[in-house]
Structure formats: structure tokens, C-alpha cells
Amino acid sequence: MKKDLVGTKEEQIKKVESYRWVVWSVLAVMYIFVTFHRMGVGVVKNDLQQAFNIGAAQFANIGSMYFYAYFIMQIPSGILADKLGPKKTVFSFSLLAAVASIVFGLAPSIGVAYASRFFVGIGVSVVFICLIKIQSRWFYSKNFALMIGFAGIAANLGAVIAQSPLVIAVNMFGWRNTFVYMGVGMVFFAILVLLLVKDDPSDMGLPGMDELENRPQSVANIKVGQALKSVMTNKWTWIISIPYIGLYTGYVVLFGTFGVSFIMATYGVSKISAANYVIAAVIGSAVSGLVIGYLSDKFKNRKLPLILCSVLTLIGWVVFIFVKLPLALLTPFLFVFGFVMSVFTMCWTLGNEVNDRNLSGIATGVVNCVGFLGAAIVPVVMGSILDTYKAMPMLGYQKAFTVLIALVAVGAVASFFTKETNGVNIYKAK
């Protein structure tokens, strides 16, 4: 379709600014499924242990299978997003995740459960990077951090569904049927991706962001070897990945692995009450993405919020694990804790702004790769410690969480050495 068939330039811009929300919303819904699968096993911990007759370490491995797959796929996902495009990538891989979710719900043995969770991770691994790619092609650069915040809302909605709503669903349908139904739902939304998503406004005969912002045209024929070398030899890519690994691993452990069980053990509350407390942290996380993203875009500052929130997250973990708070304070504490912890979204923004804008998928993939390695390994180490101290569970939790706290501390120190971009892409080709 030629641009002159679409209307005047003003009409074209209006269409871009309206249809972009259709494209974004469909992928954002798929991202809700991603975070549901990421966090859902924590709430059904006891159900899985009973179903497969396993301990804490084997349970943690069920969750980690997802993250092993996610880790493996982050750089390939970036390549697929940059070369094949978000539409085809998300559609095909979401179908794989849907089938794997159904198989997980029907799994007759722990081996099948491991394998199906691994393929769920493979299938959903592409969605976030494709969402970031879509944001870079459909939205103005000045709103990049804010749009990361909106993506965070989708992520946290999935995390909310994976808390007390999942407990209710499991009570009604059983954990197996619940994961089967989620797989069927993914098939429906994968079809919507195929029908509604466009990789770039130019696919509809509309002006793209490169034209509207007078920035260099996006390069379609990306050479994978050169792209990987560009991102992976950039020291700022790796420096920003260190705060990310601590912050994000903690986010996963709190929301998806041991948060609910730790609150149950520490405060003697029911599973649904513990899940509701975690939802306070999820809400804080959702608010964080918007507030921090908006303020960062407004004041053109990325480094200060990262440093401040990284240090506060470290303090928050020490308080959460070693201080038994009055129940009346637990909800507001967890809200603030979730808020500061979710500054890891700033790492995605910085990862894009220190690298070639044409390689947004690969840059996000490399940063994610580091974080998901931590999210895969650390919970298994923690689970092994919990199994060792099974007779003294509270001591076991304290020793297990000390491993995480040490990782968060390293990330907090590294945040002081990240590169300030002042809200613009600072990459310069060598």
C-alpha cells in the first residue's frame, strides 16, 4: 500500500498513534501469560510436591526449567525479533508454549513436568523482547522508559493472576486443569497476534518512527555476527547486567518461588493470605514501572533512580528476612519493597540506550540472558539449603535467602558504575 492511499500526513500520524495501541495491547496480553507461567509454580508448590513426591530442591528445578530455557533463548530471541520480526516470532513460539502448558497440566511424572516447563520457557521467551522491539518501532523515543513501565503493568498483572487468583482457580479446577486452560487461552491470543500485529507502521503504508523523529533509518538486513559482536563487546551492556541479575532474581524468588511459602512459615498465615500479601508487592511493582519510567523520562536521568532503588532493595531484603514485622506493617512494607525492587526495568532502558538502536532486540536479550541465569540457578541453590535444614525451616530460610542478599549487594555496588545516558541513545559506532 502506498502512503498516498492512506491519507494526509496528519491523518497518517494519527493512525500510527492510535493503531500502535492495538499492536501493543495484543503483545502485552501475551506478556501476561509469560509472567503467569513464570510465577505460577510458587503458589502451587505444595500441590506439585504432593503430585510428584518431591522435595524443595526438585520443586525449585520445576521453576528453574523455565528459566534455563529463557536463558538459552534470550540472544536467539533478540535475533528473531530483529530479523524475522515480532509478529511471526511471537505467533509461532506462543503456540509452542500453549501446547507445553497443556502437557504440564497433564504430566504423569516429574520428568514430563520438567520437559514441559522447559518448552513453556522456550515458547514464551520471545514475547518480552518482541514487545520491546514493537515499542521501539511504534512509539516515540522520548517515551521509551514510560512504555517499559506500561510493559511492567502487563508483567505484574500476570504476577497478580499467579497469586491468590491462581489459588482460587486451583481450588476450583485443580492445578492440572488450570494450566491446561491457560494453554488453551494462549492459542486464542496467538491467533490475535497473527491477525492484528504489524511489525512496523510502514507495513500499513504509514510513516515509521525513523521518519517521524528524523532519526537514521532502521536497518532491515542485520548481520547476526556483527550485531552480537557490537552488543557483547560493549562494556556498558555487561555493567548494566550486574544490577539486573540481583534485582530480577530477587523479584522472581519473591513473586514466583519462595515468597508465599516464606510468609506462611514466618507469619503462620494461610496460603491465600500469604498470596494476598505478595500481591501488595506486585502492586508496588506495577506502580513503580510507571512512576520511575515517567520521572526518568521527565528529568532525563537513568542512573540516580537505579542506584537509589538498588540500595533500598538491599535494605528491604535484610529487613524482610531477618525482622519479623507486625502484620499491620507487612502490607505497606511489601508495597514499598515491590516498588523499589522493580527498578530492574531501568536496566532494559539503559541496555537499549547504550547500544545501536537497530539492535534493540539483541541488546535486551543479552541483558535478560544474565538476569535469567541468576533466576534459574539461585532458587535451586536456595532449595537445596532448605532441604538441608528441613528440621529447622526458619534457619533454612535465613541461610537460603542470604545467598540472594549477597547477589543483590553485588548488584547495588555495580549500579554506581553504570553509564548515565540522559534519556537518549548514546551509542557511537567504532
Kindly tell me if the per-residue pLDDT of 197 is higher than 60: yes
Q: Positive or negative CA dihedral for 382, 385, 389, 395?
A: negative
- Helix ranges (H only) for 162-270 are 164-173, 175-196, 209-212, 224-232, 235-252, 259-267
pLDDT, one tens digit per residue, over 96-110 is: 999 999 999 999 999
State the Cα–Cα distance between residues 138 and 315, nearest whole angstrom. Answer: 38
Residue 154 belongs to some domain of the structure: yes
> Region 244-255: what's the mean pLDDT?
93
State the Cα–Cα distance between residues 161 and 217, nearest whole angstrom. Answer: 40
Q: What are the b/e assignments for 386-416, b being 16+ CB within 10 Å?
A: bbebeeeeeebbbbbbbbbbebbbebbebbe
State the Cα–Cα distance between residues 240 and 306, nearest whole angstrom. Answer: 10
What pLDDT band is residue 216 in, cutting at 50, 70 and 90?
A: low
Kindly tell me if the per-residue pLDDT of 3 is higher than 60: no
Residue 189 belongs to some domain of the structure: yes
Kindly tell me if the per-residue pLDDT of 355 is higher than 60: yes
- Domain containing 335 — which CATH number? 1.20.1250.20
What pLDDT band is residue 429 in, cutting at 50, 70 and 90?
A: low
Angle (CA) 241-244-250 rounded to 5° is: 150
Q: What is the pLDDT of residue 218?
A: 61
Residue 246 belongs to some domain of the structure: yes
DSSP state of 219: P
Residue 296 belongs to some domain of the structure: yes
DSSP string across 353-409: HTS-GGGHHHHHHHHHHHHHHHHHHHHHHHHHHHHHTTTSHHHHHHHHHHHHHHHHH
What pLDDT band is residue 7 in, cutting at 50, 70 and 90?
A: low
> Region 232-246: what's the mean pLDDT?
95
Residue 11 belongs to some domain of the structure: no
> Region 160-184: what's the mean pLDDT?
91
Angle (CA) 312-291-339 rounded to 5° is: 35
Into how many domains does the chain fold?
1
Instruction: Find the distance separating the first CA and the last CA of the chain, reported in whole Å.
Output: 37
Which amino acid, 153?
I
Structural domain range at position 72 = 18-193+234-415
Q: Check residues 39 and 243 and name the one with the higher pLDDT.
A: 243
Residue 47 belongs to some domain of the structure: yes
> Region 393-414: what's the mean pLDDT?
96
Percentage of the chain modeled with pLDDT above 90? 57
Residue 205 belongs to some domain of the structure: no
Kindly tell me if the per-residue pLDDT of 130 is higher than 80: yes
Q: Which three cell numbers stand for residue 196?
A: 492484528
Percentage of the chain modeled with pLDDT above 70? 96
Kindly tell me if the per-residue pLDDT of 113 is higher than 60: yes
What pLDDT band is residue 160 in, cutting at 50, 70 and 90?
A: confident
What pLDDT band is residue 196 in, cutting at 50, 70 and 90?
A: very high
pTM, entire model: 0.78
Q: Please, are residues 194 and 23 in contact by the beta-carbon 8 Å criterion?
A: no
Residue 12 belongs to some domain of the structure: no
